[in-house]
Chains A and B, each alone.
Chain A
Amino acid sequence: MSKRTRTTSLERHDLTGWLMAGPMIFLIFMFLVLPFVLGFVFSFTNQRLVSPNPTQFVGMSNFEQLLGAGILVRQPETDANGVLKRDANGDLEYQSIRSYTRNNPDYPQYEGMKEFAGFDWGDAKISFVVRDLVFVKALLNTLAFVIVVAPVQGGLALLLALLINQKLKGMNLFRTIYFMPVVMSIVVVALLWRFIYAGDHGLLNSILGFLSLGAFKPVDWLGNAHTALWSILGMSVWQGVGFHMVIWLSGLQTIPVSLYEAAEIEGATNWQKFRFVTWPGLRNTAVLVLIVITMQAFALFAQVDVMTKGGPLDSTQSIVFQAVQRGYVKQDIASGSAISVILFVLVLSISLVQRYLTRERT
């Protein structure tokens, strides 16, 4: 009976409740739900940022443009007698990929495609060709970035948290120092690291040169296609590690001291304490940290925008950088939206997989 009265009393205040939630619901709708829905709709149109032309639905063409791919097999060229042609070095001759993918009416399916990778198969040359090489590179770069950042940043953060969780003097100082990069704007951090990574007289090169007594040859960290992405990654880990350290720390502090005391009595080593007390106690924290890092890593943008603009040779293109580049700089909102939708599907599916893998097993 009393329960029933409570419910009706709450129901009576329905309107008040909605009114109180109203502003927030409105804001969430305006700035989260609406843009999300619009992005989804735009990705199937030819919407421009500004244009006097009417918007039209174009079906899947934005996605086909981004993800279109094919396999091109080239046989060696033969002369009129069917004999294989060879060049001066005795190597077989092939028609260039360009001759298939540009203005060749015989192969309309390859029009405008670019070679992404290729290998030899007997005498034939087999090439993977893609319609949008830059986007494919952005996709792969981002995936590589995520795969490396998630364990490295998470692990490093846990290590720092364990170090800092000890009851020693001056721990607050270290906490502050590790957390400081998180508070700084990523744009400022990226600008500063540009100087650290500078090619000739940068800080990093100078330090490495000094430590190796001059044996180290200066590397143009951001100007070299092999090092640029990893340089950005190193900086990102440094910048973000403090944040995840704090999350780990909060997890560590929820583990009851009595468990450690019990382990101590049982004669457990430090490693056993970590393995059987700390780690199981951090389970939920670990899931959270992993998912947050993954999502942040997929959103890689500011570092790229400030430090390399996707270069050199597309080695640091990222999905979000391409979405902004197309949707905003090139005013092609439709294409930018399509990239965002692809990113959304990607992040959603990876999060679901992560959730499944880290589920509570009973």
Chain B
Amino acid sequence: MKRTVFLCGAILSAGLFAGNAMAQTELSMWYHGAGNKVERSIIVGIINDFNASQSDYTVKLEEFPQAAYNDSVTAAALSKKLPDILDMDGPNMPNWAWSGYLQPLDIPESKLANFLPGAIGKWKGKLYSVGLWDAALAMFARKSVLEENGIRIPTLDKPWTKDEFDGILAKLKATGKYDYPLDLGMNDKGEWYPYAFSPFLESFGGDLVDRSTYLTAEGALNGDNAIAWGNWWQSLFQNKYAPGTSESPSDQQTGFLDGKFALQWNGNWNAVKAMDKFGDDMLFLPAPDFGHGPKIGAASWQFGVTSESKHPEGAAKFIEFAIQDKYLAQFSDAIGLIPATSTAAALTKNYAPGGPLASFFDLSKAQATLRPVTPGYTFISPTFIKVAADIADGADVTDTLDTAVDSINADIEKNDGYGFKN
């Protein structure tokens, strides 16, 4: 009995002490980059700076490995245990907003005026998420290889056209010096496909879904332009211009560096490696223009506030604090991402005007195209992966696109229009 009393006392006093320490409101925050020391040190730095800068809130960080992150968020949402602040991959945002995980983010427009379009997450006219960085794709190439073969070096204003690009691939193939003239990274059958390849489809004039209504994919994904894309896409593999879906993963990592491929469609996150290897010979070229303007994918990880947060104003304050140029620049310098503003870019080693990767910043600004901003994207994405893989493997183009359209439309119907029906 005596012991019980003592125990109660202990619990009570522990509670009291804890209460004292928690005069500030605690905001919990989830981040996807567990295991990455560099990212962690910057995030923790931002959080410490924020906690020290004011006395109302303290942010507490919890990290998850990227592979398990989305699952953790879904599970937490189902059991109503979401944190105050979340980070999320850009194209998932509309789904999470629609599903009620998120609430609109209260940050004044003026703060975001200078941001790259890919770093801002808006759905149905409301801001839900902001990113500290974006990523961009470019055609990796070597100046010496292009000059040797008399190939024009394209610019943002004058990118390669479709015919020009096909001619280049044929020419490079004919040299016989490379296993394949172009590498697209076809072994990576995941979000890489829609991120890297759907902009080609859009440049042809097709799209994953009709963005004027978001209620059907008919005409967008199986119209004449989309079929033209499919035929061109298939020709890349039939002509052996690019390795197909059974490409070995190691080739995607090192094939370009080893000289197996003359060109590689790759992201800025691999740019430093390529630059170390080839130095001044390395070129990062804009996407070809297939008729409707050159395009590359946009949107990377972004921060938002969950619907369960009881202190959205505090959470928004933190995000507003985190999107200062100096932090954007820190992230960029540490992990090579493109800072979300031009003023931050000027502070970085790589992306400052004239810097070695400055072309990526310009690419992101000029060509970045968001993946369809709809909750249905979670369905569209795996459907497109299958389309691009099947066509590459030699499936009938029209049939494949029709099947994809049917299943996307059926999914939209099943979900009552994903909130677009009104």
Binding site for B on A (CB under 8 A): 46, 48-53, 98, 102, 112, 114, 133, 194-195, 198-200, 202, 220, 222-223, 225, 308-314, 325, 329-332
Q: Is the CB of A52 within 8 A of B246?
A: no
B416–A53 contact, CB under 8 A? yes
Q: Are A325 and B244 in contact (CB under 8 A)?
A: no
Within 8 A of A (CB), among B119-175: none
User: Which of B78, B99, B248, B414 is close to A52, meaning CB atoms less than 8 Å apart?
Assistant: B99
Q: List 6 A-B contacts (CB under 8 A).
A: A52-B98, A114-B403, A202-B248, A222-B246, A311-B245, A332-B379
- Return the chain A residue nearest B382 by Cβ: A329
Residue of A nearest to B243 (CB): A199
Q: A309 to B403, Cβ gap below 8 A?
A: no
Whole-angstrom distance between the Cβ of A91 and the nearest chain B Cβ: 19
CB contact under 8 A between A330 and B411, given known A50-B78, A50-B95, A133-B403: yes
Is the CB–CB distance between B395 and A313 below 8 Å?
yes
B36 within 8 A of A: no
Chain A to chain B: the 4 pairs with minimum beta-carbon distance, closest first: A223-B246, A312-B393, A50-B99, A198-B248
User: CB within 8 Å of A: which of B62-100?
Assistant: 74, 77-78, 95, 98-100
Residues of A within 8 A of B395 (CB): 313
Residue among A133, A195, A311 with the highest chain B CB neighbour number at 10 A: A311
B76 to chain A, nearest CB (A): 11
**A330: chain B residues within 8 A (beta carbon):** 378-379, 382-383, 411
Residues of B within 8 A of A50 (CB): 74, 77-78, 95, 99
In the complex where A313-B394, A330-B382 touch, is A102 in contact with B189 (Cβ < 8 A)? no
**Which residues of chain B have C-beta atoms less than 8 A from A52's C-beta?**
98-100
B115 to chain A, nearest CB (A): 28
Contacts of B411 in A (CB 8 A): 330, 332
Q: Judging by beta carbons under 8 Å apart, are A114 and B399 in contact?
A: yes
Minimum C-beta distance from B358 to chain A (A):
37
Residues of A within 8 A of B399 (CB): 98, 114
A52, B94: Cα distance in complex, Å: 13
- Complex Cα gap A223–B398 (Å): 22
Chain A residues within an 8 Å CB radius of B99:
50-52
For B246, give the chain A residue with the smallest CB separation: A223
Contact B95 A195 (CB under 8 A): no
- Is B26 part of the binding interface, using a Cβ–Cβ cutoff of 8 Å? no
CA distance A331 to B415 in the complex (A): 11
Flag whether B368 is at the interface (Cβ < 8 A). no
User: Chain A at the B interface: mostly helix, strand, loop or mixed?
Assistant: loop
Interface assignment of B406: CB less than 8 Å from any CB of chain A: yes
What 16 new A-B contacts, CB under 8 Å, besides A46-B414, A52-B98, A133-B403?
A48-B414, A49-B74, A52-B100, A200-B179, A222-B246, A223-B245, A223-B393, A309-B385, A311-B245, A311-B390, A312-B393, A313-B390, A330-B378, A330-B382, A330-B383, A330-B411
* A52 vs B101: C-alpha distance when bound (angstroms): 10
**Most chain A C-beta atoms within 10 Å of own C-beta, residue among B95, B385, B410, B414:** B414
The residue in chain A whose Cβ has the minimal distance to the Cβ of B406 is A112
State A133–B406 Cα separation when bound (angstroms). Answer: 12
Q: How far is the CB of A58 from chain B (nearest CB, A)?
A: 9
| B402 interface contact, C-beta 8 A | yes
Cα–Cα, bound, A332→B376 (Å): 11
- Asked if B105 lies at the interface with its beta carbon under 8 angstroms from chain A, I say no
Tell me, rounded to whole Å, the shortest Cβ–Cβ distance linking B108 to chain A. Answer: 28
Rounded to whole angstroms, the CA-CA distance of A49 and B390 in the bound complex is: 26
Assuming A112-B406, A309-B189, A309-B389, is B248 touching A194 (CB within 8 A)? yes
Chain A CB within 10 A, most for which of B100, B389, B410: B389
With A50-B99, A51-B415, A325-B382: A223-B244 Cβ-Cβ less than 8 Å: yes
Question: Once bound together, how far apart are the Cα atoms of A199 and B379, in whole Å?
Answer: 31
* CA distance in complex: A90, B248 (Å): 46
Chain B residues with CB below 8 A from A112, complex form: 406, 410
Assembled-state Cα–Cα distance A46/B412 (Å): 12
* Closest Cβ neighbor of A46 among chain B residues: B414
CB closest residue in chain B, given A222: B246
> Contact between A312 and B98 (Cβ–Cβ < 8 Å)?
no
CA separation between A112 and B403, bound complex, in Å?
8
Q: How many angstroms between the C-alpha atoms of A199 and B179 in the bound complex?
A: 12
- Nearest-Cβ distance from residue A324 to partner chain B, whole angstroms: 11
State in angstroms the CA–CA spacing of A192 and B101 once bound together: 39
Knowing A98-B399, A112-B406 are in contact, say whether A53-B394 is a contact too (CB < 8 A): no
Cα A102 to Cα B218 in complex, Å, equals 11
How far apart are the CA atoms of A112 and B395 in the complex, in Å? 18
The answer to whether B246 touches A312, judged by C-beta atoms less than 8 angstroms apart, is yes
Q: Cα distance A249–B230 when bound, in Å?
A: 54
Residue of B nearest to A58 (CB): B414
